[in-house]
Amino acid sequence: MNISLKTVKIVSLAVSVVFAGIAGLEFYEHRHFREAVVPSPNLDEVKKLSDYEPSLKDSVNDSNVYVFDSGVPGGTALILGGTHPEEPATNLTASLIVENAKVEEGRLIVVTRANRSASTCSRMGEAYPAYYSVKTNWGEKKFRMGDRCSNPLDSWPDPEVYLHYPSRQMLAYMDIRNLNRTWPGRPDGLLTERTTWAMTQLIRQEKVDIAIDLHEAELEYPVENTIVTHEKGESIAAMTSMVLTAELFEVPLSMEFSPKALHGLFHREVGDHTEAISLLAEVAEPMLDRIRGITDEYLLMTGRDEFVMKAGEHKLLYAPIDERGWPIDVRVGRHSSTVQKILEFYSMENPDRAVVISGVPGYGEVIENTLGAYFHNPEEAPEGSVYFD
C-alpha cells in the first residue's frame, strides 16, 4: 500500500468515526427523550404493561396505562395510541384524551405509546424527522417521531419469515416487530408479541368491553378514513360512520369489516380472543405515501404535498387532498370525535355497561382552537402529576 492510499484510508476512517459519533449522539438523545404527559385531574391511577405481563418489567415497552375510573358503575373502554409511531395523530389523540378526559360513567383506560420501542427509532431509508412539535400557548410540546416496527435494538434478529401465533399464517419477516400483526400475542414470544400479550391480558383482566386502536394511513391505501370493525362492533361502527359523515366531517368516514383471513391485526384478534368489541380507526396521513415529496416535519404536521395531489389528479388515491393538505389538527380532531361517538353509541346499546366521557375536545374544537390549546404545561403542573412516555 502506498502512503497516499494509507492516508486516504485513515482520513476515511476518521470521518466515519466523527459521523458515527454525531449521529450516535442524536440516536441516543432520541431514544432517551421523555415525553411529558399532564393527565387530567380525573386520573385514577397509572399502571404499567408489566402489571399484565411481568417479563416487560423495566423494558422499553413497559408503557404507561392511564386509568380513569368514574366510580359510577358501568363498562370499561380501552384506547390505544402509538401502535405505529410513524402515525403521530394516534398518540397525539390518546394524549389529548389523557390530558382532558373526565369520565362520568364506567372506566376509561388509555395507552398513549402502545409500542414505545418503535417510537425510539425512525425508519431506515424513509428520512423521517426525529421529532415533531405541537405549538401551545406555553411553548412547543415535543414528541418522538418513530417507526412502524419495534426498534431492532430491542428485538433482533428477525426470523427469515414470521409465522403468526396462533394461526401460523406466514407474514413478512419484519412484521414480527409490527404491533398490529402480533395480536393476540404470546407470553414467551419476542418483545412485540409479549407487548400485545400484555394488552390482551389487560383487556381480559380489566374486563374491557370495547377497545379502539388508532391509526393513520397513506392516501394510496384503500383502508382509509374508515372504521374497521370486528363483527361484534357492526352497529356501533355503522352508526358512528353515518352520523359523523352526515353531521360533522368534511371528508366521509366509512366503515368496513375486519377480514377473517388476515391474522395478527387488532380488529380481528382482539374480537376473536377476548370478550371486547374491537374497532380500528384510520385517518389520512400524506407523509406515509411512497410518492410523497420532501420528507420533513412540515409535511408531517401540515399534510400538504404537491406530489400526492398530483397522484390524486390521476385518481390514484382513496382520499381527497387539495392545497389545504391533511393538517394534524384535522387528523387528531377526526380521531377524537370518532372515539367519542363510538363510546356514545356503545353506551346507548349497552346502558348497563356504559362508558361516558366529557371534557375531550372534538373535531370542530380542535380545528378552531388548535390541538396545542388542549395540552397542559408540565412545568406548571402540581408535583407528582406529570408522567413520562
Partner 1 sequence: MFAHSGLVLLVICAAFFLPKVLKLSTELSMLIAAIAGAAAHSILIAVTDSPHDAVPLIPVRHIVEGAFTYFDVCLIFLTATFFMALLRESGGVAFIVRKIVSTFHARRTVCLLLLTFVLLIPGALTGSGATTVLTVGALVGSVLSAMGVDETRRIAIIFLGAAMSAAAPPINLWAMMAAAGANMPYVGFGKPLLVLSVSGALFSMFWLAGRGESKIDLKAVLAELPEVEEGQSWLRVALPFALLLGLILAGRIWPFSMPVLGLPLIFMISSFLVVILSPRRLNIWSIACSTVHNLSTLVGIMIVVGILIQVMALSGVRGLISLEVVTLPLGVLFATLFIILPLSEGLVQYAVAPLIGVPLIMLFNMRGLDPIIALSAMSVIWPLGDCLPPTAVVGRAAVLELDYRGRYYLDFVRACLVPMAFIALTGTLFLVFSTKLSFLGG
**Residue numbers of the site for partner 1 (CB under 8 A)?**
19-20, 22-24, 26-27, 122, 124-127, 129-130, 156-161, 163, 165, 168-176, 178, 186, 188-190, 220-223, 261-263, 289-299, 305-307, 310-311, 314, 316
Shortest approach of partner 1 to residue 161 CB, angstroms?
A: 6
Nearer Cβ to partner 1 (263/331): 263
Shortest approach of partner 1 to residue 127 CB, angstroms?
A: 4
Cβ atoms of 108 and 77 closer than 8 Å: yes
For 32-55, give one letter per residue: b (16+ CB within 10 A) or e: eeebbbbbbebbbeebbbbebbee
Dihedral-angle region of residue 58 (phi above 0 means left; psi in -120 to 50 means alpha; beta otherwise): left
Alpha helices in 79-190 (DSSP H): 88-100
CA atoms of 274 and 267, how far apart (whole Å): 11
Q: Pairing between strand 76-80 and 107-111?
A: parallel
Nearer Cβ to partner 1 (74/325): 325
Q: Is 68 exposed, middle or buried (0-12, 13-18, 19+ CB in 10 A)?
A: buried
Cβ atoms of 88 and 148 closer than 8 Å: no
Nearer Cβ to partner 1 (107/292): 292
Nearer Cβ to partner 1 (147/344): 147
Nearer Cβ to partner 1 (125/384): 125
CA atoms of 243 and 199, how far apart (whole Å): 30
- The cell 397509572 sits on which residue? 46
Nearer Cβ to partner 1 (21/364): 21
Strand partners, 170: 163
Calculate the alpha carbon distances from 260 to 158, 228, 256, 263, 304 in Å. 26, 12, 12, 7, 35
Shortest approach of partner 1 to residue 45 CB, angstroms?
A: 34
Backbone angles phi, psi at 98, to 5 degrees: -60, -40
Nearer Cβ to partner 1 (171/214): 171
Cβ atoms of 61 and 49 closer than 8 Å: yes
Q: Pairing between strand 356-358 and 387-388?
A: unpaired
Shortest approach of partner 1 to residue 273 CB, angstroms?
A: 16
Q: What is the dihedral of CA 47, 149, 292, 250, to 10 degrees?
A: -40
Shortest approach of partner 1 to residue 158 CB, angstroms?
A: 7
Shortest approach of partner 1 to residue 18 CB, angstroms?
A: 8
Shortest approach of partner 1 to residue 286 CB, angstroms?
A: 10
Shortest approach of partner 1 to residue 229 CB, angstroms?
A: 16
Shortest approach of partner 1 to residue 307 CB, angstroms?
A: 5
Nearer Cβ to partner 1 (103/308): 308
Nearer Cβ to partner 1 (163/246): 163
- The cell 370486528 sits on which residue? 230
Handedness of CA 45, 211, 60, 91 (dihedral sign): negative
